[in-house]
Amino acid sequence: MLKPNESSSIEVRKIKYLNFFTIDRFILRGFLENFLISVSAFVAIYFFSTLLTELPSILKRAEINPQAVTLGNVLKNYIYKIPDFFLTVYPFSYLFSTSYILGSFYKNNEIVACITAGWSMRRITVGIVFFSIFSSLLLVFMNNSFIPNNNYKSSAIEEEIYRETKESNVNNLQTYGENGIIYLSLYYNSRTKTFSRILLLKSREKNHGLQVSEMNVPDIDSLNSMNVTDQIKKITSENFSFAKFFPYEWMIKGNEMVWDEPTGKWIVKKGFKWSWNENGEIYNIEEYDSKPIDLVEKPAYFSKETRNIKEMTTEDTRLYIEKLRKSKQIYNKELVEFYSEKYAKPFSVFILALLSSALGRFFSRKHLLVMTIFFSFIIAAVYYVLINIGISLGKEEILPALPAAFLGNILSIGIYFYLKRKQLT
């Protein structure tokens, strides 16, 4: 016959060692039911509030530009925005659902029973926290696959509706492309995809450690005021002034260079090509009225874009930042936004799940549900303030881009451990 203490110990062990298919499944099922309802509600609220906010502007544009502002265009625009709405509300929905389900279980003494049986709060919420990691990875995938494309399509429709161009022309263009190509041009027209007074310089594959962006490139205005012979002398003399070898393989100069859509190539018109050896001696000269050239860079590469990081995939963003770097432009702002939008913010689901799980026992059991939800939203607000502080510090170059983007996440994890220590039992 078992003694009373032995019987109690067996009951505790029965509850303590229940696995995923019992208590964890019970908690996850309750959480997911609330989460699906909350995420649907938040997306609907976001969708209709955005629509109602922008509707007056759309109606005004319909009077000015009736061909572009059609019902089909407006509907397509907002349908394309739905995935981004989902991405935005997902962390808040997760926070709300976690706080609600834990508060509900506390109110009904279900979690209290588990704690009495020997389960820690960390063990009780492990299913929700692990699911938040999966959710964060899902958001990273979505944010780097189809959501940027949808955002770009939505932006293109809005450009048509509001007649606000996303690209502008470039004067005195100087930029660096792939395979050691340097572009110099007086003017680039983004609509006709045409360069005026184009000059291309191809650096050597073996430049003895010299970076293309470090080469001494003459000013395009001064070059265009010279004849061809003087241009060659200018390029040669400036490069031999700091190097013992001549870093360019060839130079192509033309009156214009246009993009040919059917072939997907650039066409140089009324130009010539000079080729040099390592000693800077010309060994070949070509002249032509029209010549196609294989270049990696496409027309969009040369436009001044107002395209948002949210409209670009990871690869697009990296190419864009590399373009800014090669052009010797400031790119720290874009780099911080890249790390923040593509990686740090999607993991807000995991961070908020941790914080809300720590709030379950932080308050007295009187009005526990209201207090948990209320203070979890305060924590969320604090989290996003920390995120934006980090981003600001990164853009001002006070912190490096990567730590700045993740500063909010790092500090929030610190807050989580502080709350765990201060929890009331």
The 10s digit of each residue's pLDDT in 237-248 is: 554 444 456 778
Relative to beta strand 181-189, strand 194-203 is antiparallel
The amino acid present at 290, given as its one-letter code, is: S
**Whole-number percent of the chain with pLDDT over 90:** 17
143, 87 contact by CB (below 8 A): yes
pLDDT of 86 reads 93
Quick one: which of 107, 101, 138, 134 has its CA closest to 24? 101
pLDDT band at 405 (very low <50, low <70, confident <90, very high): very high
**Whole-number percent of the chain with pLDDT over 70:** 75
pLDDT band at 409 (very low <50, low <70, confident <90, very high): very high
183, 245 contact by CB (below 8 A): no
Burial of 202 (C-beta count, 10 Å sphere; 0-12/13-18/19+) = buried
Q: Indicate if the pLDDT at residue 15 is higher than 60.
A: no
Length of the chain: 425
Q: Indicate if the pLDDT at residue 207 is higher than 60.
A: no
pLDDT of 391 reads 92
pLDDT of 108 reads 73
The 10s digit of each residue's pLDDT in 35-81 is: 999 899 999 999 999 888 888 888 887 777 777 778 888 888 889 99
CA quadruple 278, 283, 289, 293: dihedral positive or negative?
A: negative
Q: Indicate if the pLDDT at residue 200 is higher than 80.
A: yes
Q: Token match 């790390």: residue?
A: 339
Relative to beta strand 181-189, strand 248-260 is unpaired
The 10s digit of each residue's pLDDT in 87-100 is: 989 998 888 888 77
The amino acid present at 21, given as its one-letter code, is: F
Lowest mean pLDDT among 194-203, 261-270, 276-285, 302-311: 302-311
pLDDT of 367 reads 62
pLDDT of 228 reads 60
Q: Indicate if the pLDDT at residue 329 is higher than 80.
A: no
Q: Token match 């609907």: residue?
A: 44
CA angle 220, 194, 169 (to 5 degrees): 75
**What's the rounded mean pLDDT across residues 314-343?**
81
* Distance, first Cα to last Cα, the chain: 35
In whole angstroms, what is the distance from residue 101 CA to residue 40 CA?
17
Domain residue ranges of the chain, discontinuous segments joined by +: 4-161+341-422, 167-305
In whole angstroms, what is the distance from residue 243 CA to residue 251 CA?
18
pLDDT of 392 reads 92
406, 387 contact by CB (below 8 A): no
Q: Indicate if the pLDDT at residue 83 is higher than 50.
A: yes
Strand partners, 259: 266
Q: Which helix or strand (DSSP H or E) is residue 61 part of?
A: helix 25-64
Tell which wins on pLDDT, 320 or 390: 390
In whole angstroms, what is the distance from residue 314 CA to residue 298 CA?
18
Coil, strand or helix: which one is 138?
helix
**Cβ neighbours of residue 74 closer than 8 Å, sequence gap 6 or more:** 58, 161
43, 89 contact by CB (below 8 A): yes
364, 425 contact by CB (below 8 A): no
DSSP 399-420: S-HHHHHTHHHHHHHHHHHHHH
Across the chain, what does the average pLDDT equal? Answer: 77
80, 155 contact by CB (below 8 A): no
